[in-house]
Structure 1
Amino acid sequence: MADDKLTKIDLVESVYLNTKIEKQDVQKVIDNLLEQLKSSMSDGKTIELRGFGTFEKRLRKGRAKARNPKTGEIVSVEPHYVAVFRPGRELKNAISDLPVDDESK
């Protein structure tokens, strides 16, 4: 299963191999990009990356009688925002062509 995961370190390595930009510089750019995404989202902005997808906030309704799955206790949940990602058409098309593996169900 670990082969199905791409970490930030893997991403830095891949960009380094494809561009020959120093790894430290690639790491700084990726860290800065992620920080900008987080900062913009926390300011309430929607982030649209054409050809990839859109990051946006969505309001989750509060509930008076939610259940804590760990303890089974009834708790109240206030309305709050969550981050959501909507993939763009190109990303959807790229993923739809992947072969279906019986183990992934």
Structure 2
Amino acid sequence: MVTYTKRDIVRTVADKMDVPLNQAEPWVESVIESLRDKMMAADPTCRIELRNFGVFEVKETKAKPKARNPKTNEVIYVPAHRKTHFKPSKKLKKFLKKPLSEVKGDD
């Protein structure tokens, strides 16, 4: 599995925009920070829609009064909280559904 970091994204943006890394880094940082701030300010839910990429959502979960700790079998209470969810765009979803043999170029 390949893991990409923020630095990798900065490199990609710098290459696409034909600018030095130190100029592209604040742009990427600003976008990530803006998304994070909007999600953290959700009261209690929010939806961030990025066309041709996908939708980020902050959703509420229900409280679970009779959840079970699988390690100890102890019954515990899990309070209601929020969680994030990502739904890919049609274009991205269509690409991800392609058989791996098509994507990798095997045959």
Q: TM range, normalised to the smaller chain? A: 0.7 to 0.9
Q: What secondary structure sits across from 2:100 in the alignment? A: coil
Q: Distance in 1 between matches of 2:7 and 2:96?
A: 23
Q: Deviations over 1:59-90 (max 9, x none)?
A: 11111122334554432111111111111101
Q: Which residue of 2 aligns with 1:85?
A: 86
The aligned amino acid for 2:38 is S
1:62 has 2:60 as partner: no
Q: Is the 8 A contact 1:67 1:73 kept in 2?
A: yes
CA RMSD of aligned residues (A): 1.8
Q: Distance in 1 between matches of 2:99 and 2:27?
A: 30
1:32 has 2:66 as partner: no
TM-score under structure 2 length normalisation: 0.79
1:97 has 2:101 as partner: no
Q: Is the 8 A contact 1:40 1:46 kept in 2?
A: no
Q: Tell me how many residue pairs correspond in the alignment.
A: 98
Q: Which residue of 1 aligns with 2:77?
A: 76
Q: Give the % identical residues.
A: 33
Q: Which residue of 2 aligns with 1:103?
A: none
Where has structure 1 moved over 4 Å in runs of 4 or more?
Answer: 69-72
Gaps of 5+ in 1: 101-105
Q: Distance in 1 between matches of 2:31 and 2:96?
A: 24
Which deviates further from its counterpart, 48-57 or 5-14?
Answer: 5-14
The aligned amino acid for 2:15 is L
Q: For the structure 1 residues 56 and 17, does the alpha-carbon distance in structure 2 shift closer, same or farther, using more than 3 Å as the test?
A: same
Q: Distance in 2 between matches of 1:25 and 1:67?
A: 50
Gaps of 5+ in 2: 102-107
Which deviates further from its counterpart, 28-37 or 72-81?
Answer: 72-81
Q: Which residue of 2 aligns with 1:48?
A: 49
Q: Distance in 1 between matches of 2:19 and 2:72?
A: 50
